[in-house]
Amino acid sequence: MNPDPAPVRDTGGAPAGRVSASGAPSAGVSDAGRTLAWKERPVPSVDFNRAPYTVIWEVTRACDLCCIHCRASAQKARDSGELTLAEGYRLLDSIAEFGSPVFVITGGDPMKRADLEDIIGYAARDKGLRTSLTPSATPLVTRDRLASIKAAGIARIALSLDGPRAAVHDAFRGERGCFDRTIEIIRHMQDLEIPLQINTTVAKPNVADLVEIARRVEGFGAVQWSVFFLVPMGRGKREDMISAAQHERIFHWLCDLKHKVSFDIKVTAAQHFRRVAIQRERRAGRAMRTDERGCYLEVSGAGFQYTDGIQRPTQGVNDGKGLVFISHVGDVYPSGFLPIRAGNVRGQSVVDIYRNSFIFHELRDPNKLRGKCGVCEYRVVCGGNRARAWAMTGDALAEEPMCVYVPPLQRAGAPSIPDGELIS
């Protein structure tokens, strides 16, 4: 990429037609006659040992696309072992016991399930969960289906955009026409006033296009750009990952960019972005706001609410620490990218698994981290991406392979760091 921190207000990359050039997010979710209680709630202050900030349910692994980096190695046909709607309702009852986590319905392609609106309605209206959806850009996403999903109570829909042009995006997604369909879906969402999130996976094939993708995100009027850094699992290949130095350069570019754009920027599978953000603030001599626990609000992005009511966590989320993933057959994992099975919701509550399983306990304890992450003063707020560590070393507690930082205590050869000096 060219990490040029130039502003992206110019919408030269925006598609023609009714796509917004203002960059202003559109109006919030219509309540369709019933109150969506989560819209009134403040930012939840969550003890990650008791409850996650985000719960992700992969309602199916079926998908008609064939992306080169697909975590799920998705196939076209649905699995007969998927959780049924009745089992899904019981799962949602359990998820609501956590309090009010952000609830993400993902796949595969969730649009493959005919009962999707029942799931959304039960989650958003009956259980009061802030519910978002990640459909695949296929002909299944019609205007009518989007309207039906909105009426069911969805708060936000996230679409993938891995290239600013059809050639790049379609090559990523494994299907010609996927880019044009994505633009068409965005237009439908604008008509229907459904808040839009854009997800981009950063890898070698598109790293040079990030500036242009950011312009597109601005032009769409998206509320959030979720920038995901490739984890080599599923169909994602190690050789497609960018280097540790490129990660670092992109983090700095994103730190500059966030002051120049209308959308929020969220980084996924790159916890060391928080270390970069803190280092920059310290070098600039700026004091960062903290919450009552001393956690850096600016780094984790809390303290405000978007038009669609979905807020940002006040602490650093990591796999199994503020995050839990339930697979299409009910298996529970620390994240969708860390395939260490901790239990199954058919025989156990997801609450019990999250709070008490061995692997979740291990992942939540920064003192268990190994290598340079284990002696790093940023290990509480960062801790490195656990899924990438697992994918590249076979050890979920190993050091983050894509971080350039060398902690002072590693340089000094010291074995440990006192808790009081940790940055949280």
Which residues are 159's β-sheet partners?
Answer: 198
Which of these, 388, 335, 342, 309, lies nearest to 36 by C-alpha position?
309
Kindly state the DSSP code that residue 289 receives in the 8-state scheme: P
The total of other beta-carbon atoms located within 10 Å of residue 355's CB is 16
d(CA 71, CA 62): 12
Considering the complex, what minimum distance in angstroms separates the CB of residue 261 from ligand SF4? Answer: 25
327 is an interface residue for ligand SF4 by CB under 6 A: no
- Per CB under 6 A, which region of 80-88, 92-100, 203-211, 400-408 contacts ligand SF4? 400-408
Count of residues touching ligand SF4 (by CB under 6 A): 26
Residues 63, 109 contacting (CB under 8 angstroms): yes
Considering the complex, what minimum distance in angstroms separates the CB of residue 272 from ligand SF4? Answer: 4
Choosing from 8, 46, 65, 111, the residue that interacts with ligand SF4 (CB under 6 A) is: 65
70 is an interface residue for ligand SF4 by CB under 6 A: yes
Residue with smaller CB distance to ligand SF4, 215 or 372:
372
Beta strand spans in 7-149 (E): 54-58, 102-106, 130-133
Residues 264-293 binding ligand SF4 (CB under 6 A) are 272, 275
Structure-block tokens of residue 167: 């050639």
363 is an interface residue for ligand SF4 by CB under 6 A: no
Considering the complex, what minimum distance in angstroms separates the CB of residue 91 from ligand SF4? Answer: 20
Helix (H, G, I), strand (E, B) or coil at 57: strand
- Per CB under 6 A, which region of 1-9, 102-110, 261-269, 330-338 contacts ligand SF4? 102-110
Q: Is the dihedral of CA 299, 305, 310, 315 positive or negative?
A: positive
Choosing from 247, 372, 386, 388, the residue that interacts with ligand SF4 (CB under 6 A) is: 372
Distance of alpha carbon 261 from the chain centroid = 19
Choosing from 6, 43, 66, 207, the residue that interacts with ligand SF4 (CB under 6 A) is: 66
The total of other beta-carbon atoms located within 10 Å of residue 90's CB is 15
Residues 354, 360 contacting (CB under 8 angstroms): yes
Considering the complex, what minimum distance in angstroms separates the CB of residue 32 from ligand SF4? Answer: 28
The half-sphere exposure of 131 on its side-chain side, counting CA atoms within 13 A, is 29
- Per CB under 6 A, which region of 67-75, 303-311, 335-343, 348-356 contacts ligand SF4? 67-75
Q: CA-based angle 100:106:108, to the nearest 5?
A: 165
Choosing from 36, 55, 67, 129, the residue that interacts with ligand SF4 (CB under 6 A) is: 67
133 is an interface residue for ligand SF4 by CB under 6 A: no
Ranges of H-type helices in 258-320: 272-283, 297-300
Choosing from 221, 299, 384, 417, the residue that interacts with ligand SF4 (CB under 6 A) is: 384
74 is an interface residue for ligand SF4 by CB under 6 A: yes
Residues that bind ligand SF4 (CB under 6 A): 63, 65-67, 70, 72, 74, 107-109, 136, 272, 275, 372-373, 376, 378-379, 382-384, 399-400, 403, 405, 407
